[in-house]
């Protein structure tokens, strides 16, 4: 019997700072074969294992359309993430996965995509964003709406700045507060960006949202105002997870396991299940 | 299913034979309570049906066990060789709890720790008559059709023995002469009478049909706050409930050589830390929220996923909760819309 709890050996290939408390990690399975044949969907996550500290889930930030390396952006918040930040390039780490439902990318084919993120919400949504750009012909229009507290809190700034000039993506970046006086994009919360969006065909649109809890309410309001069907509004939810494979019970909400049936839910699921937010 | 007869006085001989085939387990007395344990002397085995303190789950999901050993380089799976075990005296409700666990631990990903122990264990189920807090007829777990290797029905001077699997058949073959193949019309009549008697002896009945709807409708009811005021968050209900499967994982560092043991241990959604995520945000800060989760799992969730509640009617929560929050008092509150204060906090004798 293969053991789904077994971490697989991997190596930290690159690690660098994105913001004060968020670091970017590039990770590769040590087994070459495994590294190249590993398959996943945008929106799925991996369990990281550090011996002596434990395990924790992290969303995959890279896209399956660029195999070989897995990328993550991770915020330091506690024991495990501190231990992870202490590891150096070339150090070994255990990972297992991929877990979770991921985005329904096949269903989303041909649709106009709204990718809406706040803060660390960029972690899972960057995967979908890069995937869409690599398979541009499979999707309709593409909007990226991203809000951060201040310019220095924005993740992947250089990468996203390049999108502003591209023709195949409409990239709107905003900060709550510009403490530099030189911020070249928008100011205000993410929901304020909606006034700049025109010609939406709501039935032909999928909106994917991930961000801090405060962001959801205002953004969901805007999306409902645009008449985007509730089952085409997708959001990722965070729950405590100990196993990632539907056994430990920690992520249970009513009769679903966030780790298997989620972490991506439709807005309808969220309204339907009392405890979801 | 094949049925045989075993004379009452032959039971010891049979179990003695069985104990040569593998470790014999079953209920024995420890202090004031009964526990499932390894039986070294057949005299210690309780042959009559009893409600043990901890349910049979402890044999398959031990309260604490090692999953991996990290030697500084790789995670070695804990390949402790499990002895073949034969457990005698498992009541039908607990057989149902194992069928529920088979689904939980088998769906999508197979949990090797559970299934290895499952494969290494042969189960001899034992019929029982309801004790004061039992209500398995209401949960429809008083009869079994699968999930056992042998099942014995106690009919006065003999047992009717049902052979459920080929593993069970192997046990019979250890001493075939002990068994009588000739089940007579008289025996069948006796069995039918026994069933009638058993069915009439329940002093608790709960109508579960409307309960999932009532859980929904009472989601914001003040009853949850009232229960929460009393709840001690001790987690005892989860420990004794045969269908609570939650666990936590912890790494222990060996001081001598710096190697690491990754261990799995029982957890309870009644503990405050259960749903805490990074930065200390807790999705179920309030006790009432945690009680709702527990009872949603028992009374609601499974009806969606598997078409029946995950409560098997064993009555352990009734015996165990120090403040009498249990399936009965909760269902009563759901049905009447209020908490019966008299039923709470009055510690009953066991
Ligand atoms: C599906 C999913 C995807 C995630 N993706 C990312 C990501 O891409 N980047 C990122 O920085 N963070 C992500 N998180 C959150 C991340 O898992 C937690 O920040 C991390 O577990 C904190 O661990 P810690 O030991 O450093 O913190 P502590 O606060 O010390 O954690 C204590 C314990 O609680 C558990 N825990 C705490 N918070 C969480 C949580 N939110 N989810 C699960 N377990 C938790 C940990 O396992 C740990 O054992 C994700 C969480 C989930 C559920
Ligand atoms: S319901 Fe009873 S047994 Fe369960 S945690 Fe509360 S006080 Fe303890
Ligand atoms: S909820 Fe109570 S009666 Fe039902 S299975 Fe659990 S302990 Fe037994
Ligand atoms: S994380 Fe263990 S059940 Fe979902």
What's residue B347's pLDDT?
40
Name the nearest CA neighbour of A21 among A80, A62, A77, A61.
Answer: A77
Residues on chain A touching B301 (C-beta within 8 angstroms):
252, 254-255
Instruction: Decide if B275 and A243 are in contact by the 8 Å CB cutoff.
Output: no
Most confident of A22-36, A214-228, B245-259: A22-36
Q: Is the pLDDT of residue B346 over 50?
A: no
Query: Is B68 in contact with A5 (Cβ distance < 8 A)?
Result: yes
Using an 8 Å Cβ cutoff, are B84 and B120 in contact? yes
CB contact, 8 Å: A9 with chain B?
yes
Domains and CATH numbers, chain A: 8-99 (2.40.30.10), 112-236 (3.40.50.80)
How much is the pLDDT for B299?
85
Note whether A207 and A264 are within 8 A (CB). Answer: no
CA atoms within 13 A on the CB side of B176: 4
8 Å CB contact between A71 and A24: yes
pLDDT score of A271: 87
Q: Is pLDDT at A277 greater than 60 in this prediction? A: no
Place of tokens 């997708």: A234
Is the shortest distance between the CB of A239 and ligand 1 below 6 Å? yes
Q: What is the pLDDT of residue B349?
A: 37
Q: What are the phi and psi torsion angles at A54 (to 5°)? A: 130, -150
User: Do B33 and B53 form a contact (C-beta atoms < 8 A)?
Assistant: yes
Please classify residue B43 by burial: count the beta carbons closer than 10 Å to its beta carbon, then call 0-12 exposed, 13-18 middle and 19+ buried: exposed
Locate the domains of chain B by residue range.
2-62+83-200, 211-244+273-349
The rounded percent of chain B whose pLDDT value lies above 70 is 91
CA distance B180 to B161: 10
User: What mean pLDDT is reported for chain A?
Assistant: 93
Q: Which helix (H) or strand (E) holds A73?
A: strand A70-75
ipTM rounded to 2 decimals = 0.88
**B243 C-alpha vs ligand 2 centroid, how far in Å?**
16
Q: What is the pLDDT of residue A2?
A: 85
- Residue A93 · residue A48 · CB < 8 Å: yes
Contact A247 B245 (CB under 8 A): yes
Q: What is the pLDDT of residue A183?
A: 87
Q: Min CA distance, B57 vs chain A (Å)?
A: 14
Nearest-by-Cβ selection for A254 from B253, B274, B300: B300
Question: How many CB pairs below 8 A link A and B?
Answer: 103
For residues A130 and A102, the answer to whether their CB atoms sit within 8 Å is no
What is the per-residue DSSP string for B337-350?
Answer: SS--GGGSS-PPP-
Dihedral pair phi/psi, residue B116, rounded to 5° = -65, -45
A252-253/A170-175 β-pairing: unpaired
Cα distance from A250 to chain B (closest Cα, Å)?
Answer: 7
Q: Token pair 């057989």 is at which residue?
A: B95
Q: What is the dihedral of CA B258, B262, B263, B267, to 10 degrees?
A: 120
CA B42-B44-B49 angle, 5° bins: 95
- Residue identified by tokens 């689904």 is B103
Which of A173-187, B115-129, B276-290 has the weakest average pLDDT?
A: B276-290
The pLDDT assigned to B210 comes to: 83
Alpha helices in chain A (DSSP H): 32-37, 79-86, 105-108, 122-134, 157-165, 213-225, 258-261, 267-272
A11 vs chain B: nearest CA distance in angstroms? 13
Does the distance separating the beta carbons of B74 and A4 come in below 8 Å?
Answer: no
* CA–CA separation, A222 and A195 (whole Å): 9
- Please name the residues in contact with A168: beta carbons below 8 A apart, sequence gap of 6 or more: A133, A136, A142
> Per-residue pLDDT tens for A59-115?
999 999 999 999 999 999 999 999 999 999 999 999 999 999 999 999 999 999 999
Rounded Cα–Cα distance for residues A28 and B321 (Å): 49
Enter the tokens of residue B295. Answer: 């009872």
A 244-273 near B (Cβ less than 8 A): 245-250, 252, 254-255, 260
Evaluate: CB of A213 within 6 angstroms of ligand 1: no
SS3 content of chain A, % helix, strand, coil (to 5): 30, 30, 40
Q: In angstroms, what is the span from residue B207 Cα to ligand 3's centroid?
A: 15
Q: At what angle do helices B92-106 and B112-119 cross, to 10 degrees?
A: 140
């Amino acid at each position: 019997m293969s053991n789904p709890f077994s971490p697989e050996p991997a190596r930290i290939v690159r690690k660098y700072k994105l913001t004060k408390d968020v670091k970017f990690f590039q990770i590769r399975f040590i087994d070459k074969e495994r590294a190249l044949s590993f398959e996943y969907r945008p929106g799925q996550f991996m369990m990281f294992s550090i011996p002596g500290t434990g395990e924790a889930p992290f969303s995959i930030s890279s896209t399956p359309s660029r195999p070989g390396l897995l990328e993550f952006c991770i915020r330091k918040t506690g024991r495990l993430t501190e231990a992870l930040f202490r590891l150096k390039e070339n150090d070994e780490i255990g990972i297992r996965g991929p877990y979770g439902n991921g985005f329904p990318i096949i269903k989303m084919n041909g649709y106009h995509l709204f990718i809406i993120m706040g803060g660390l919400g960029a972690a899972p949504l960057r995967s979908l964003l890069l995937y869409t750009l690599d398979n541009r012909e499979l999707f309709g229009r593409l909007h990226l709406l991203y809000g951060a507290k201040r310019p220095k809190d924005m993740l992947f700034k250089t990468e996203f700045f390049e999108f502003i000039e591209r023709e195949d993506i409409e990239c709107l970046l905003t900060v709550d507060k510009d403490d530099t006086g030189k911020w070249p994009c928008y100011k205000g919360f993410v929901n304020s960006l909606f006034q700049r969006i025109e010609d939406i065909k709501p039935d032909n649109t999928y909106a994917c949202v991930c961000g801090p809890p405060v962001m959801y309410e205002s953004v969901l309001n805007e999306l409902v105002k645009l008449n985007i069907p509730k089952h085409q509004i997708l959001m990722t939810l965070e729950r405590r997870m100990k196993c990632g494979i539907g056994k430990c019970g920690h992520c249970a909400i009513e009769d679903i396991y966030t780790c298997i049936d989620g972490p991506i839910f439709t807005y309808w699921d969220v309204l339907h299940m009392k405890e979801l937010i | 299913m094949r049925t045989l007869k075993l004379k009452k006085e032959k039971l010891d001989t049979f179990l003695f034979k069985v104990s040569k085939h593998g470790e014999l387990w079953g209920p024995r007395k420890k202090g004031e309570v009964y526990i499932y344990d390894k039986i070294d002397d057949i005299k210690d085995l309780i042959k009559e049906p009893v409600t043990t303190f901890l349910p049979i789950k402890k044999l398959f999901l031990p309260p604490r066990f090692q999953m991996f050993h990290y030697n500084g380089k790789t995670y070695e799976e804990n390949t402790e060789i499990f002895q073949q075990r034969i457990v005698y005296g498992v009541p039908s409700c607990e057989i149902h709890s194992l069928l529920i666990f088979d689904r939980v631990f088998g769906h999508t990903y197979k949990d090797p720790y559970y299934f290895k122990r499952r494969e290494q264990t042969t189960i001899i189920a034992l019929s029982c008559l309801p004790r004061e807090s039992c209500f398995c007829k209401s949960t429809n777990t008083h009869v079994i059709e699968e999930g056992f290797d042998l099942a014995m029905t106690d009919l006065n001077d003999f047992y009717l023995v049902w052979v459920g699997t080929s593993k069970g058949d192997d046990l019979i073959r250890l001493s075939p002469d002990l068994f009588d193949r000739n089940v007579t019309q008289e025996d069948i009549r006796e069995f039918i009478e026994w069933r009638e008697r058993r069915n009439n002896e329940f002093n608790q009945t709960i109508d579960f049909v409307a309960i999932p709807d009532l859980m929904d409708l009472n989601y914001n009811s003040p009853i949850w706050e009232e229960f929460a005021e009393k709840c001690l968050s001790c987690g005892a209900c989860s420990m004794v409930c045969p269908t609570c499967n939650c666990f936590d994982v912890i790494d222990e560092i060996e001081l001598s050589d710096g190697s690491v043991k990754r261990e799995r241990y029982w957890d309870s959604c009644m503990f405050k830390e259960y749903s805490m995520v990074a930065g200390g945000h807790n999705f179920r800060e309030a006790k009432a929220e945690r009680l709702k989760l527990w009872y949603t799992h028992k009374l609601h969730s499974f009806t969606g996923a598997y078409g029946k509640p995950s409560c098997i009617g064993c009555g352990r929560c009734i015996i165990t909760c120090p403040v009498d929050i249990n399936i009965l008092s909760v269902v009563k509150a759901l049905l009447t819309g209020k908490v019966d204060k008299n039923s709470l906090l009055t510690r009953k004798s066991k």
